[in-house]
């Protein structure tokens, strides 16, 4: 099985009520950003930093919850496409399940990204230490900082390259530690490298296309209304592409 980009663009249309589910997701995505207008209005009408700050904190928590729900819906869509034949989009009534799945997704990705985060902290501390002691141009300090920076860049590139692979591994069983189950993930990659390269290229193409569409829609106020719809739709497309990669890996294992 090869990745079918056309199918990823059209599969949701076979789901009864897909328009309502798409609009619901788009509305939630819009709310994650629009909610921050509340602290602004709170400050304008109350002229109180305390009221504005309090409303900002509450809106941040609310926006974070909605973001986790969107992430959970994205993951649940991919998981259903992998594990259940002829399954399409989850039901938005499963709000709690989406939230839990979104939390698991972000925790898993955080654990996976932890080496880069820790090395970044070490690099910043080393950089601050060197400059604070006016040794920025000392040969040894320069070499060590350059080596540490190069290592950080290499690690970041590797994390980005294999990020979709670990995400696909998580899609299979929704277990947090699947993000660091390298044995299971690379087993999917075996004899499936071509599809993985296509997956990465399609992700890049989808990202570029999104930016172009956003630039066009941003020209008018009416166009901006459709931005959340386009972005949420792109999440569903990405979920299908990841699911196709996992299914292709399973088929190759059975050959």
In this structure, the number of other CB atoms found within 10 A of the CB of residue 45 comes to 10
pLDDT digits (tens, 9 = 90+) for 28-41: 999 998 888 888 88
pLDDT (0 to 100) of residue 119: 94
- The residue range of the domain holding 65 is 5-254
pLDDT (0 to 100) of residue 226: 87
Confidence grade of residue 251 (pLDDT, cut at 50, 70, 90): confident
- DSSP characters for 148-193? HHHHHHHHHHHHHHHHHHHHHHHHHH--GGGGG-HHHHHHHHTT-H
The pLDDT of residue 237 is above 80: yes
pLDDT (0 to 100) of residue 14: 87
Which of 67, 77, 78, 76 is CA-nearest to residue 97? Answer: 76
Confidence grade of residue 162 (pLDDT, cut at 50, 70, 90): very high
The pLDDT of residue 1 is above 80: no
Asked if 232 contacts 70 with a C-beta cutoff of 8 angstroms, the reply is yes
End-to-end CA distance of the chain: 11
Asked if 38 contacts 61 with a C-beta cutoff of 8 angstroms, the reply is no
**What is the CB-side half-sphere exposure of residue 42 using CA atoms within 13 A?**
17
Question: For residue 212, what are the contacts with CB-CB under 8 A and spacing of at least 6?
Answer: none
Asked if 153 contacts 231 with a C-beta cutoff of 8 angstroms, the reply is no
pLDDT (0 to 100) of residue 130: 75
Higher-pLDDT residue of 191 and 107 is 107
How does the average pLDDT of the chain come out, rounded? 89
Higher-pLDDT residue of 31 and 47 is 31
Q: What tokens appear for 130 in the block? A: 């060197």
Number of domains in the chain: 1
pLDDT (0 to 100) of residue 69: 96
The pLDDT of residue 148 is above 60: yes
pLDDT digits (tens, 9 = 90+) for 57-116: 999 999 999 999 999 999 999 999 998 877 778 989 888 999 999 999 999 999 999 999
Distance CA 29, CA 232 (A): 7
Asked if 88 contacts 14 with a C-beta cutoff of 8 angstroms, the reply is yes
pLDDT (0 to 100) of residue 192: 87
Asked if 241 contacts 196 with a C-beta cutoff of 8 angstroms, the reply is no
């Amino acid at each position: 099985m090869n990745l079918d980009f056309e199918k990823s663009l059209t599969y949701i249309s076979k789901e009864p009520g897909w328009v309502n589910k798409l609009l619901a997701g788009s509305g939630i995505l819009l709310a994650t950003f629009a909610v921050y207008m509340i602290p602004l209005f709170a400050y304008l009408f109350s002229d109180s930093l305390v009221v504005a700050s309090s409303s900002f904190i509450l809106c941040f928590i609310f926006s974070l919850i909605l973001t986790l729900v969107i992430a959970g819906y994205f993951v649940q869509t991919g998981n259903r496409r992998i594990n259940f034949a002829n399954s399409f989009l989850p039901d938005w009534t499963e709000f709690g399940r989406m939230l839990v799945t979104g939390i698991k997704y972000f925790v898993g990705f955080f654990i996976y990204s932890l080496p880069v985060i820790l090395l970044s902290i070490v690099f910043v501390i080393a950089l601050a230490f060197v400059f604070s002691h006016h040794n920025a141009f000392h040969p040894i300090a320069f070499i060590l900082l350059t080596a540490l920076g190069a290592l950080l860049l290499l690690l970041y590139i590797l994390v980005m390259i294999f990020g979709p692979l670990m995400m696909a591994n998580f899609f299979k069983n929704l277990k947090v530690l699947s993000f660091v189950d390298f044995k299971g993930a690379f087993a999917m990659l075996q004899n499936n490298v071509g599809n993985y390269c296509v997956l990465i290229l399609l992700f890049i193409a989808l990202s570029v296309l999104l930016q172009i569409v956003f630039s066009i829609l941003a020209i008018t106020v009416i166009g901006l209304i459709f931005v959340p719809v386009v972005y949420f739709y792109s999440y569903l497309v990405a979920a299908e592409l990841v699911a196709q990669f996992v299914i292709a890996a399973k088929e190759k294992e059975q050959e």
